[in-house]
């Protein structure tokens, strides 16, 4: 309980640190490194808990199978007990009828009539032996059936005890699983709090970063390859807004767009969520060498400090972007070249670009 209260307090603390106390860039960088280390430790704990949960799930699955097998055995044993009871009752009825017929149970004539009906001494002996053998066989069979019934009853008793043990074990596993789930939820909450803090620190550091300008050699840009239908739908979505006016803070066609708003909207229409600002988009993309850039990748710009602008690369050394004069296609060479500070690829596009877009997305891109 104390450990959980500590984790909860830490989550609240991480979420509540005022942004204004992080004025020193060197201190921010140190804290980012420290939090990144803590984040890695937490992720390792989460992975361990996931493994334990998977093992518990497998163990509960096995217990469930054993329980179901035991219940099936109990059902089969019950059926066999009922059948044995019926056989015992029928055999008992048969013996009773024979006793009433052959023995001196209120009718001594019957038994003696069988013996007196013999034609010779040998026949008499044979009849006596046959009657006794038949009676003995009936009684032995009845005893065997009663023994079977006793054994089946004992077997059912053992199975019911096993059923109770399995129930107890399954309940214990459920409690252990719930505890692991609780621990995982705590670690995930802490991880999320650290993520939020790290995202702020990285964004703040990025905003303080002074980028060297004019360092990218655009001669390295590759020849444009054929693009996948998915990427083409993305590009078409951005290109359909050519001529729209620039609107600072704009994030949709109704209000028009600023640079990051156009990027965010275009990616959203093909099923990829991106953060709002150019700096945040820079942080969630994978850095690329100019020689590796492809249509659908992002181009980032700075006017000396922080990330100031972003566009979507469309191939042949050009991008579509929302600039002060509106949504336009612009060459990377010339005015924009000296402000380029990096190229980025959205990780999810690696997977999605090999998937055909839905008909709805294709229609939007037309």
| One domain, residues 50 and 155 | yes
| One domain, residues 33 and 172 | yes
| One domain, residues 279 and 199 | no
Containing structural domain, residue 72: 25-209
Name which of 344, 309, 333, 339 is nearest 212 in CA terms: 339
Strands lying side by side in the sheet with 286-288: 286-288, 340-345, 298-301, 309-315, 318-323, 326-331
10 belongs to a structural domain: no
| One domain, residues 264 and 176 | no
Question: Domain boundary residue among 209, 244, 261?
Answer: 209
pLDDT for 37 equals 81
Q: How many CA atoms lie within 13 A of 18 on its CB side?
A: 3
pTM, full prediction: 0.55
- Collapse the DSSP code of 307 into the 3-class scheme (helix H, G, I; strand E, B; otherwise coil) and give the result: coil
| One domain, residues 197 and 268 | no
290 belongs to a structural domain: yes
Least confident of 103-112, 206-215, 224-233, 275-284: 103-112
| One domain, residues 200 and 297 | no
Name which of 334, 335, 313, 314 is nearest 324 in CA terms: 335
| One domain, residues 202 and 313 | no
pLDDT for 170 equals 81
Model confidence band, residue 105 (pLDDT cutoffs 50, 70, 90): very low
Read off the pLDDT of residues 173-182 as tens digits, 9 standing for 90 and up: 888 888 888 8
| One domain, residues 183 and 289 | no
Model confidence band, residue 138 (pLDDT cutoffs 50, 70, 90): low
Q: CATH code at 243? A: 3.90.1720.10
Do 29 and 35 meet the contact criterion of CB atoms below 8 Å apart? no
| One domain, residues 242 and 336 | yes
Structural domains of the chain, count: 2
Q: Name the one residue in this structure whose structure tokens are 């100019």.
A: 290
Neighbours of 344 (CB within 10 A): 20
Q: Give the pairing type, strands 256-257 and 286-288.
A: unpaired
232 belongs to a structural domain: yes
Do 344 and 300 meet the contact criterion of CB atoms below 8 Å apart? yes
363 belongs to a structural domain: no
| One domain, residues 230 and 197 | no
């Amino acid at each position: 309980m104390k450990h959980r209260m500590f984790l909860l307090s830490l989550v609240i603390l991480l979420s509540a640190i005022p942004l204004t106390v992080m004025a020193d860039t060197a201190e921010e960088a140190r804290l980012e490194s420290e939090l990144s280390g803590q984040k890695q430790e937490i992720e390792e704990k989460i992975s361990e808990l996931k493994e334990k949960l998977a093992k518990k799930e497998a163990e509960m699955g096995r217990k469930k199978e054993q329980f179901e097998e035991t219940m099936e055995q109990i059902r089969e044993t019950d059926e066999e007990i009922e059948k044995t009871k019926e056989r015992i009752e029928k055999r008992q009825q048969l013996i009773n009828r024979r006793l009433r017929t052959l023995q001196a149970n209120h009718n001594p004539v019957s038994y003696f009539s069988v013996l007196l009906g013999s034609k010779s001494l040998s026949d008499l002996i044979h009849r006596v032996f046959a009657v006794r053998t038949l009676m003995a066989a009936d009684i032995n069979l009845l005893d065997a059936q009663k023994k079977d019934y006793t054994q089946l009853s004992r077997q059912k008793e053992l199975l019911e005890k096993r059923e109770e043990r399995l129930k107890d074990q399954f309940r214990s596993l459920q409690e252990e699983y719930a505890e692991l789930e609780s621990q995982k939820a705590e670690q995930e909450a802490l991880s999320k709090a650290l993520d939020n803090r790290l995202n702020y620190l990285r964004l703040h550091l990025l905003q303080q970063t002074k980028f060297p300008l004019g360092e990218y050699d655009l001669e390295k840009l590759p020849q444009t390859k054929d693009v996948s239908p998915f990427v083409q739908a993305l590009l078409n979505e951005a290109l359909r807004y050519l001529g729209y006016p620039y609107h600072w803070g704009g994030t949709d066609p109704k209000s028009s767009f600023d640079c990051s708003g156009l990027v965010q909207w275009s990616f959203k229409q093909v099923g990829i969520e991106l953060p709002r600002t150019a700096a945040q988009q820079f942080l969630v993309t994978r850095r690329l060498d100019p020689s590796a850039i492809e249509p659908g990748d992002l181009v980032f710009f700075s006017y000396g400090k922080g990330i100031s602008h972003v566009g979507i690369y469309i191939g042949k050394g050009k991008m579509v972007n929302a600039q002060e004069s509106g949504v336009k296609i612009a060459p990377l060479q010339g005015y924009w070249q000296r402000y380029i500070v990096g190229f980025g690829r959205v990780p999810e596009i690696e997977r999605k670009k090999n998937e055909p877009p839905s008909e709805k997305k294709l229609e939007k891109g037309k």
